[in-house]
Amino acid sequence: MINANRLDTGFMKYQKEYEQAAIDVLRSGWYVLGKQVEAFEKEFAAYLGSAHCVGLDNGLNALKLAFRALDIGEGDEVIVQANTYIASVMGISMNRATPVPVETDEYYGIDPEAVKKAITDKTKAVLVVHLYGHTCRMDAVMGICREHGLKLVEDCAQSHGSTFDNRSSGTFGDIGCFSFYPTKNLGAFGDGGAIVTDNEDLDKKIRILRNYGSQKRYYNEVVGENSRLDEIQAALLRVKLSHMDELNAERDEIAKRYNAGINNPLITLPPVSDRVKCVWHQYVIRCDKRDELAEYLRENGIGTIIHYPIPPHLSQAYEYLGYKKGDFPLTERYADTVLSIPMFNGMTQEEQDMIIDRINGFK
């Protein structure tokens, strides 16, 4: 069986380096907010081309703290693409702000035209999500935010290293939010997250918020949280970050083989804008007979996942927003037809060839 995702093969690529990094932290006697987190923050900010990075405990809390630091809360509206993982929307609503979903574009990102139409006098920010590793149309979105005085937050949980016009995702908005959940392109060995920003005040604010609202121990300026990245995760992330370009290049090779090999007319391949470097967090195909295809592949020893079968506006959690089926037809059509096929570091060429062969054999 080839699973849709696999983490041990990625670990084994640099096993010695990871093990050494973990042992060094274990032996150091320092486990929270120390040299490793500090070094990772500097290295990740430099990798992206951002001025500051703050290591956090997960991607959801990165989003939550981003909106909190921007003073967005009750009575404020935040525009977000309907076609996303539900955590994006939760980062908004956990601050008691109102998520306003808008339709997606053909690259599964936010549709800038839909953003324009959704702006009201309560709109305070736009949250873009670079889904599947493909950067959103940032020139258009930035133009709209500038024109209307809106804050811009980027959900980069799936886009470590992706670019739009050669600029890294996470560096366009006021704040870029990252997840280091193990399956992510830059995945930790447990939970992790970060924000990046060029704004010194926001950097400082989020540093304080992540640590009980204090800069100096026992001097608490605000009611903060405990939202810190561990030393051990930071040390492991530093190892992976040093190989990030190789890891993303390997995903790109897999995507190229899929693009060249899959020729079944029942399948739509992932579209990529020529202004974007996609980092292939997922390789997502579409098929009108999606459920049959998934079952056929399972019978042929190939695992798949649906990212995502229920868009947030149709989830039970967001029933209170009052949306119904049919409100975002393209997003809903994607939810009914998308299928993520295996994409992970360490996949063999034989595995890729078999996947291509089986997909082409589906009728």
Ligand X SMILES: Cc1ncc(COP(=O)(O)O)c(C=O)c1O
Tell the smallest beta-carbon distance from residue 128 to ligand X (Å). 10
Total chain residues near ligand X (CB under 6 A): 15
DSSP state of 22: H
Residues belonging to the chain = 363
Q: What is the footprint of ligand X within residues 39-98 (CB under 6 A)?
A: 58-60, 84-85, 87-88
CB 194 within 8 A of CB 41: yes
Nearest CB to ligand X, comparing residues 89 and 341: 89
Contact 144, 126 (CB under 8 A): yes
Structure tokens at 166: 């050669």
- Smallest separation, CB 189 to ligand X (Å): 13
- The burial of 219, by beta-carbon neighbours within 10 Å (0-12 exposed, 13-18 middle, 19 or more buried), is given as exposed
Task: Kindly state the smallest distance separating residue 276's Cβ from ligand X, in Å.
Answer: 17
Pull the structure tokens for residue 239.
Answer: 């190892």
CB of 71 to ligand X, least distance (A): 21
* Torsion angles phi and psi, residue 340, rounded to 5: -90, 125
Q: Could you say which residues in the range 93-132 bind ligand X, by CB under 6 A?
A: 129
Specify whether the backbone of 321 is left (phi greater than 0), alpha (psi in -120 to 50) or beta.
alpha
Nearer to ligand X, 129 or 285 (CB): 129
DSSP annotation of 132: G
CB of 210 to ligand X, least distance (A): 14
In angstroms, give the least distance from the CB of 109 to ligand X: 11
- The contact mask relative to ligand X for 188-227 (x = CB under 6 A, - = no) is ---x-x----------------------------------
| Least distance in angstroms from the C-beta of 112 to ligand X | 19
Q: What is the token pair recorded at 30?
A: 């320092």
Site residues for ligand X, 137-166, by CB under 6 A, read 155, 157-158
Q: Which is nearer to ligand X, 179 or 352 (CB)?
A: 179
The footprint of ligand X on residues 295-324 (CB under 6 A) is: none
Q: Which of the residues 165 through 184 are near ligand X (CB under 6 A)?
A: 179, 181
The residue nearest ligand X at its CB is 59
Please provide the DSSP assignment of 283-351 as one string.
EEEE-TTHHHHHHHHHHTTB--B-S-SS-GGGSGGGGGG---TTSSHHHHHHHHHEEEEP--TT--HHH
Q: What are phi and psi of 26, to 5 degrees?
A: -60, -40
The site for ligand X (CB under 6 A) is made up of 58-60, 84-85, 87-88, 129, 155, 157-158, 179, 181, 191, 193
